[in-house]
Amino acid sequence: MSQALSFHVLGAGLAGTLSAIYLARRDAAVDVYERRADPRTEQGEGGRSINLALANRGRRALAGVGLERDIEALTIPMRGRMLHEVGKAPVLQPYGKDDSEVIYSISRAGLNALLLNQADAHGVGLHFEHRTEAVDVDTGEVLLTDPAGTRVALSGRPIIAADGGGSVVRRTLGRRPGALNSEVLSSHGYKELTIPAGPDGAFRIDPNALHIWPRGGFMMIALPNLDGSFTVTLFMAMNGENSFDELTDADQVSQFFEHWFPSAVPLLPDLLHDFFANPTGELGTVRCAPWHADDKAVLIGDAAHAIVPFHGQGMNCAFEDCFELDRCLFDIEAPSLADRFAEFERRRRPNANAIADMAIENYIEMRESVRDPYFHLKKALAFELERRFPGDFVPRYSMVMFHHIPYAEAQRRGVIQQSILDELLLEHPRELPLGDIDYGHAEALIREQLADAPGLV
Ligand code: FAD
């Protein structure tokens, strides 16, 4: 767009702040309204995930506003999954084909503060303790409550709605005739715990891995923090057998952990305190349409597509939205702002739905499949095919985490690739080591079934 614009951004979480920076760098006037107090002036919030896995999609979007160096100081590379099975030594299962393919643990609070500081530096107006109460998506009017509890009305600017999974804007849009707003709560929830740092801030377990204690129907994971601690998250059913409902007193919690996670118990000295002090978080998937109202409002991040966290892609996808919205607003030919919002939705909505599906599938992979020898055999063959046919065969996990290929395309190719792997392994013993494989047949299958795909990026 040639003329300078101005926007109201609702929500100063990860997507709202990054999007505000993108807009300000294009000389737009931007004001962000956030219901919470400025997190830079408060203690970190208990109970919320305090670190996140950052992957290539998120890193590219952060690099797009020049933050690649600043991010490095906040991250710890994780080169694979460290599997902790009962009675066995931990085993590292690499994420990528080599050491260049890693993901990064990053502090949510540190990242949010960095983005807020950058937004400040770019002249973005940040208004904390301003809760959006209602929006009129026909006129673009926003009703807020300010810190004094007074009602404030905003109008005259397009709205970027980055107000998270419970988005007021999405729910309002969803009430329009023909609109869809699906919010599906998972039957599983989560609880955060902590592995504190050892003496002199030492890590008590390998810091360069994402640790998983897979237990079939449930699992626990741990990601490293820069201070030597780990944020641990227990994911399991809300009710039924082995569920949060069953863990209501200290004895039940102790027995449960001694039984299922004996190797982790010595690492969790504050287990009982953390377990009862931290809330049990809910998880869910949001799918909606449309994502925009003419030229009045557009949804980004969790407001448009909250997903379960099992692929570590919610933030990454939200950051990719910011990257793509910037392109749609400023780098394409389009007659109007409404057309630009529509193009953004056209590019992003199928991809958000695809990563929502893959995130649900990945829960099974993390808590269950990683214990199956055939899963490891298929992974080994997938890496071997990638080595032999680079660019033509890339494991699905790698497409999602290390490439920028649209999620929907990664999902489509992933289905084909699974069937190729199964076919090639038909006569093979169902566990490692990888033996004789007919790579001529593999090449034929890849050429025949994946040839129509655009090049991987
Ligand atoms: P949010 O970060 O939720 O920000 C929304 C903001 O809007 C908040 O600041 C909120 O206070 C504000 N707001 C809400 N309502 C209003 C209102 N009415 N008025 C004003 N302001 C409002 N993603 C990854 O990529 N990797 C991971 O490893 C990962 N792990 C996760 C683990 C867990 C347990 C969970 C729950 C999520 C995880 N995610 C992960 C997902 C990630 O946290 C989200 O996708 C990401 O935070 C989305 O950013 P957002 O800005 O869209 O929403």
Tell whether ligand 1 has an atom less than 6 A from the beta carbon of residue 285. no
Backbone phi, then psi, for 187, in 5-degree steps? -80, -5
Rounded mean pLDDT of 118-143? 98
* Cβ 447 vs Cβ 422: under 8 Å: no
- Report the alpha-carbon distance of residue 213 to residue 270 in Å, rounded: 18
Band (451; pLDDT cuts 50, 70, 90): confident
Rounded mean pLDDT of 59-69? 97
Q: Name the pTM for this structure.
A: 0.96
Residues 6+ positions from 309 with CB-CB distance below 8 Å: 49, 190, 283, 359
Nearest alpha carbon to residue 9 among 117, 126, 175, 165: 126
CA atoms within 13 A on the CB side of 230: 27
Percent of the chain exceeding pLDDT 90 equals 93
Which of 159-163, 165-169, 420-424, 453-457 has the lowest average pLDDT? 453-457
Backbone phi, then psi, for 221, in 5-degree steps? -130, 160
User: Is a pLDDT exceeding 80 seen at residue 177?
Assistant: yes
Q: Is 328 exposed, middle or buried (0-12, 13-18, 19+ CB in 10 A)?
A: buried
Q: Please state the atom number of ligand 1 nearest to the C-alpha of residue 33.
A: 20
Question: How far does the centroid of ligand 1 lie from the alpha carbon of residue 27, in Å?
Answer: 26
3 state DSSP class of 442? helix
Question: How far does the centroid of ligand 1 lie from the alpha carbon of residue 14, in Å?
Answer: 7
3 state DSSP class of 288? strand
pLDDT at 419: 97
Amino acid (one-letter) located at 241: E
- Report the alpha-carbon distance of residue 403 to residue 243 in Å, rounded: 36
Band (45; pLDDT cuts 50, 70, 90): low
pLDDT at 50: 86
Look up residue 311 and give its two tokens: 């692929």
- Report the alpha-carbon distance of residue 438 to residue 430 in Å, rounded: 16
* Cβ 114 vs Cβ 74: under 8 Å: yes
User: pLDDT for 78-92, tens place per residue?
Assistant: 999 999 999 999 999
Q: Please state the atom number of ligand 1 nearest to the C-alpha of residue 317.
A: 25
Band (457; pLDDT cuts 50, 70, 90): low
pLDDT at 46: 44
Backbone phi, then psi, for 441, in 5-degree steps? -65, -40
pLDDT at 282: 97
* Cβ 308 vs Cβ 8: under 8 Å: no
User: Is a pLDDT exceeding 70 seen at residue 102?
Assistant: yes
Band (3; pLDDT cuts 50, 70, 90): low
Tell whether ligand 1 has an atom less than 6 A from the beta carbon of residue 12. yes
* Cβ 371 vs Cβ 319: under 8 Å: no
Question: How far does the centroid of ligand 1 lie from the alpha carbon of residue 302, in Å?
Answer: 6
Q: Is the peptide bond before 309 cis (omega within 30 degrees of 0)?
A: no
3 state DSSP class of 138? coil
- The H or E element that residue 252 is part of is helix 250-260
Q: Please state the atom number of ligand 1 nearest to the C-alpha of residue 55.
A: 25
* Cβ 400 vs Cβ 358: under 8 Å: yes
Bin 412: left if φ > 0, else alpha if -120 < ψ < 50, else beta: alpha
Backbone phi, then psi, for 84, in 5-degree steps? -110, 100
User: pLDDT for 388-428, tens place per residue?
Assistant: 999 899 999 999 999 999 999 999 999 999 999 999 999 99
First to last CA, the chain: 27
Tell whether ligand 1 has an atom less than 6 A from the beta carbon of residue 351. no
User: Is a pLDDT exceeding 80 seen at residue 329?
Assistant: yes
Q: How many CB atoms lie within 10 A of CB 390?
A: 11
Tell whether ligand 1 has an atom less than 6 A from the beta carbon of residue 168. yes
Tell whether ligand 1 has an atom less than 6 A from the beta carbon of residue 36. yes
* Cβ 158 vs Cβ 66: under 8 Å: no
- The H or E element that residue 74 is part of is none
Question: How far does the centroid of ligand 1 lie from the alpha carbon of residue 165, in Å?
Answer: 7
Cα dihedral 303/221/185/183 (nearest 10): 20
Percent of the chain exceeding pLDDT 70 equals 96
CA atoms within 13 A on the CB side of 63: 9
Residue nearest to atom 12 of ligand 1 (CA): 11
User: Is a pLDDT exceeding 50 seen at residue 47?
Assistant: no
* Cβ 390 vs Cβ 456: under 8 Å: no
Ligand 1 pocket: which of 35, 186, 288 to mutate (most atoms within 8 A of CB): 35
Average pLDDT over the chain, rounded to an integer? 95
User: Is a pLDDT exceeding 60 seen at residue 44?
Assistant: no
